[in-house]
């Protein structure tokens, strides 16, 4: 199960730099996680300053 970034995302980029498989990229209004690449490691959840990432 991949993680998902909700609308609370402030586009700080902390999650993208933490992702070991580069599954996170900058979207139009917020960062997005590619569910095909995400390994569900949870590294992004730990660094998100606004708690905008959760398990899908």
pLDDT at 1: 77
20-53 residue pLDDT tens: 999 999 999 999 999 999 999 999 999 999 999 9
Tally of structural domains, the chain = 1
5 contacts 50 by C-beta, under 8 angstroms: no
Expressed in percent and rounded to 5, the helix, strand and coil fractions of the chain are 20, 20, 60
Mode of pairing for the β-strands spanning 24-26 and 31-33: antiparallel
**Whole-structure pTM value:** 0.91
31: domain range? 3-55
Which CATH number goes with the domain that contains 30?
Answer: 3.30.70.20
Q: Sorting pLDDT into bands at 50, 70 and 90, what band is 56?
A: confident
């Amino acid at each position: 199960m991949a993680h998902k970034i909700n609308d609370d995302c402030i586009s700080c980029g902390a999650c993208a730099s933490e992702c070991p498989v580069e599954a996170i990229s900058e979207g139009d209004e917020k960062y997005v996680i590619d569910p095909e690449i995400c390994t569900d490691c949870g590294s992004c959840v730990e660094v998100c300053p606004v708690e905008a990432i959760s398990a899908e």
